[in-house]
Every structure is written in structure tokens, then in C-alpha cells.
Amino acid sequence: MTTTLRPRGPEERTADGARSRTYAICDNARTVGTVRLAVDVRYGPTAGRVAELAVDPPERRRGRAAVALLAAEEVLRGWGCDQVAASVPAAAEGALGLAAALGYTERNRSMAKSLTDQPPLPAGSALRPMNDADFAAWRERDSRRQAEALAARGVPADEIDARFARDLAALLPDGPATAGMLLRVLAHDGADVGTLWVCLSGVPFPGADAWVYSVEVDESRRGRGHGRTLMLAAERACLAAGGRDLGLNVYTDNTPALRLYESLGYRTVEHHLAKPLL
């Protein structure tokens, strides 16, 4: 068996530095699948991505995907990439096993929950809209947290501030008054204890009606159930907006958050994996 990659068309480039190309997975001259590679400019020009990898059903379980993935990594190295990322549906156990065998590790995952009834909030807990002062303080805290996450994903330090400002301007152009976005402050017994950011339109994940962008509990108030209250508030907001399926992203190393979401009935729908290209 000789499995190789053959370009299926010209390389595509955009003004922001993104590049991508689709390849046929070939067994000698016979096409047995496709793979699409890209540079994920969200995380810098050296962040490669396997955007798609599919082997024709009759050709599966014959090592085609493993050889194609290794060949794809070589292409990305040639593009100057020092890391590669891929997303795998939770139900694709074979693909997850292959990725693990080739050295990919989970960085974060997408989770979702189908909602039914609006859950009540605990006694003493109440939410209010963020005002401009709340938003400014939240933005400063969130910028530090996002800077740490972006640095861990390989984004150059001199690009992090610009990237955060650009993303925030795109997602929240009118600050806490942005249409389709819900930003709230949680108070318990009269004291502010956390914040919530939920997207109710233009959701970034297929199949979700609403998306939790951020749940934050003040460090001195953690371990008291306020994170659960914020998630219940997010569920109430989703249902009130006419939605049923609420989604979120969680970093795998954030064990407390992962346990919270699992205890609330959220299921993993997609794993986001990465591997260094040394």
C-alpha cells in the first residue's frame, strides 16, 4: 500500500494571512479520501489545522487515515507551522483513538445540553445587567485571562492585545448593550460575586441555540455554588429567548468547570486536539 497526498486544486490565500488547500488521499493513482489543511490565523501564522479528513468507507481500517495525517503534518511543517490542531466529534471513537496514538492531546472541548424547564435560582441570588463600569472592570479581567489562554496556544506576545481588542470589537461592538448578547452580574445577599456572558444570536457552534462565552466567579467567592447559579441563569436566558440547546467551551485542564458542567447534564459533542510539530 502506498498512500500519498495529491493537491486537488490551487492553494487559497486571504489578505489576513490565512492559507488552505485540499488534497486527495491516494492509493497509488486511486483516490480513497480527502484532507483539507489550513493555517489558523486566529492563533498566529504558525498554527496549522486539519480542517477535514475523510476516508471513503470501503477504505477504512486499512491505515489510510494514519498515513494521510502524518503526510498532512509534513505539509504543514513545510508551510512553517510548529503546531497542528484538529477537532473530532465525540462519537468518532476511532478518530479519537487514532489521534491519541499519533500524539494529539485534548486542549478543550465543546459541550451542550438540551433544556426543558427553567430552573429556579437559589435564594439570595439575583442578576442585573452589566453597566458601563461593570463592563470596563470585566473587560480588564477577561483580557488578562484571554492573554494567558492565547499565549498557551502559541500566539506571539506582541499580537495578543491586538487580537483581544479586535475580537471584542467584533463580538461586543456596543459593549453591554450589544444586541443578541446578554451580559449580567450575579449578586448574592447583596454582594457582587460573578459575571455571565451568553450569546443568544449568531451562535458560533452548529446546532446550539445559545452559547456561553464566559462564566466568572470572583476568586474570593469560589467554591460556594455561584458557578452553578450562573449556569442556571444561562439556561434560563436560553429558554427565555426561545432556544432549547445551550452550548459552551471548556478547557480540559479546568477540572472544576468540567465537573460542574458534567454534573449539570452537559455532554461532550466535540474534542479539540493539538500536537506540536517539532
The β-bridge relationship of strands 181-188 and 83-89 is unpaired
pTM: 0.90
Instruction: Render pLDDT for 174-226 as a digit per residue (tens, 0 to 9).
Output: 999 999 999 999 999 999 999 999 999 989 888 999 999 999 999 999 999 99
Q: How confident is the model at residue 55 (pLDDT cuts 50, 70, 90)?
A: very high
For the chain, the average pLDDT equals 92
Does 88 score more than 90 pLDDT? yes
Does 1 score more than 70 pLDDT? no
Task: Report the distance separating Cα 278 and Cα 153, nearest Å.
Answer: 15
DSSP string, the chain: --EEEEE-S--EE-TTS-EEEEEEEEETTEEEEEEEEEE-GGG-TTEEEEEEEEE-GGGTTSSHHHHHHHHHHHHHHHTT-SEEEEEEETT-HHHHHHHHHTT-EEEEEEEEEE--SPPPPPTTEEEEE--HHHHHHHHHHHHHHHHHHHHHTT--HHHHHHHHHHHHHHH-TTGGG-TTEEEEEEEETTEEEEEEEEE-SS-SSTT-SEEEEEEEE-GGGTTSSHHHHHHHHHHHHHHHTT--EEEEEEETT-HHHHHHHHHTT-EEEEEEEEEE--
Does 154 score more than 70 pLDDT? no
Neighbours of 39 (CB within 10 A): 22
Ranges 148-152, 199-203, 237-241: which has the least confidence:
148-152
Percent of the chain scoring above 70 in pLDDT: 98
